[in-house]
Amino acid sequence: MDNYPDTAAAPLPETDLTEAEVAPQLLPLAELHLHIEGTLQPELIFELAERNGLALPYSGLEELRALYEFSDLQSFLNLYYANMAVLQTEQDFADMTRAYLARAAAAGVRHAEIMMDPQAHISRGVSLETCVNGVASALATSVEDFGISTLLIAAFLRDLSEESALEVLDGLLAMKAPIAAIGLDSAEVGNPPAKFERLFAKAREAGLRLTAHAGEEGPPSYIIEALDVLGVERIDHGIRCMEDPDLVERLVDERIPLTVCPLSNVRLRTVDTLADHPLPAMLAAGLNVSVNSDDPAYFGGYVDDNFAQLQAVFELSDFDRSRLAANSIHSSFASEERKAELLDELNGG
């Protein structure tokens, strides 16, 4: 029901308010689904290529930007992995991470759980130490520098073998890498969660938290497998759960967090348009969903852009926006103390 029928069709009032004052208020929230390599902006790709003396296969920004038209997940992954070639030194990884944190702070992010893809760097001859220490060095001062608490998630590429993943997990544990969790990403269809049963068992034994991409392009059964075989606490994406009512009921009952990425789903053609996105239905079903940016440099926006576009299409209520922010905080791997601090902030405390 429209409670304000008189204002619905009214022209925007003339005002001297600044854009920031007119924009919907940014809620303090946690970003739980973010690939740090997916924050590499075209400008930074060129800057790093120059710094490292690398020739890019694009003549300039225009030619690169023209490639950001994707038909599915794989078409995006091809460009995402290719662009990583410019990441060579610890400084490169640190600069990319700091650029994300600065932009995320402006989007209202107060806690970020950041995935990185170590195997995508090792396979190019960049050491585990270089990529992990570079990202970690920026995360170590994220609270002082950007007011964002952070933790690092090592994500494993599901289109590679479990042996490769186990070897990299061993390397991370041996170097006492500051990781809090592991994740599972890359090409989903044909690479079901059960392929990584031993990897997730080993990570759990090492005291790591567990999350996995499932139900982005893959079927609802992959979500069930990620929960039952891998024992994950959180599902990244998970939107295809809506095809299985029994699964929805289970996810609601068990309060399983789903880290949804609306603009990503549009850009990778998982949904036709944002208006077709299941987020409102997911909220209505009582699912524990949050809004995240996934690979913001590739998908047209950061978490504030995701909220703004959702708002424009669905006219989310203040209640829904607060619920999405609260879900993100409750679903994080942060300490109970940090969660309480963020919830206080959200509630105007």
How many residues lie near Zn ion (CB under 5 A)? 1
| Backbone CA torsion sign across 242, 255, 36, 311 | positive
Exactly one of 294, 321, 325, 331 binds Zn ion (CB under 5 A); which one?
294
Shortest distance (Å) from residue 218 CB to ligand HPA: 10
Stretch that binds Zn ion, among 6-14, 48-56, 122-130, 287-295 (CB under 5 A): 287-295
Helix (H) or strand (E) holding 303: helix 303-314
Residue showing the smallest CB distance to Zn ion in the complex: 294
Active site residues: 216
Q: How far is CA 10 from CA 13, 18, 90, 280, 314, in A?
A: 8, 20, 53, 25, 18
Phi, then psi, of 272 in degrees rounded to 5 = -70, -50
Exactly one of 83, 88, 97, 264 binds ligand HPA (CB under 6 A); which one?
264
Interaction between residue 188 and Zn ion (CB under 5 A): no
Instruction: Give 259's contacts (C-beta < 8 A, 6+ positions apart).
Output: 32, 33, 211, 234, 235, 236, 237, 238, 289, 290, 292, 331
Q: Work out the burial of residue 271: count CB atoms within 10 Å of its CB; fewer than 13 is exposed, 13-18 middle, 19 or more buried.
A: middle
d(CA 274, CA 262): 7
Shortest distance (Å) from residue 278 CB to ligand HPA: 16
Exactly one of 30, 34, 36, 38 binds ligand HPA (CB under 6 A); which one?
38
Name the β-bridge partners of 181: 153, 209
Shortest distance (Å) from residue 202 CB to ligand HPA: 21
Given ligand HPA, Zn ion, none, residue 220, with its beta carbon under 5 to 8 Å by kind, binds: none
Which DSSP category does 137 fall into? H
Shortest distance (Å) from residue 157 CB to ligand HPA: 8
d(CA 191, CA 168): 18
Interaction between residue 31 and ligand HPA (CB under 6 A): no
Q: In this complex, which beta carbon is closest to Zn ion, that of residue 58 or of residue 68? A: 68
Q: In this complex, which beta carbon is closest to ligand HPA, that of residue 28 or of residue 183? A: 183
Enumerate binding residues for Zn ion (CB under 5 A).
Answer: 294
Enumerate binding residues for ligand HPA (CB under 6 A).
Answer: 35, 38, 73, 80, 185-186, 213, 216, 264, 294-295
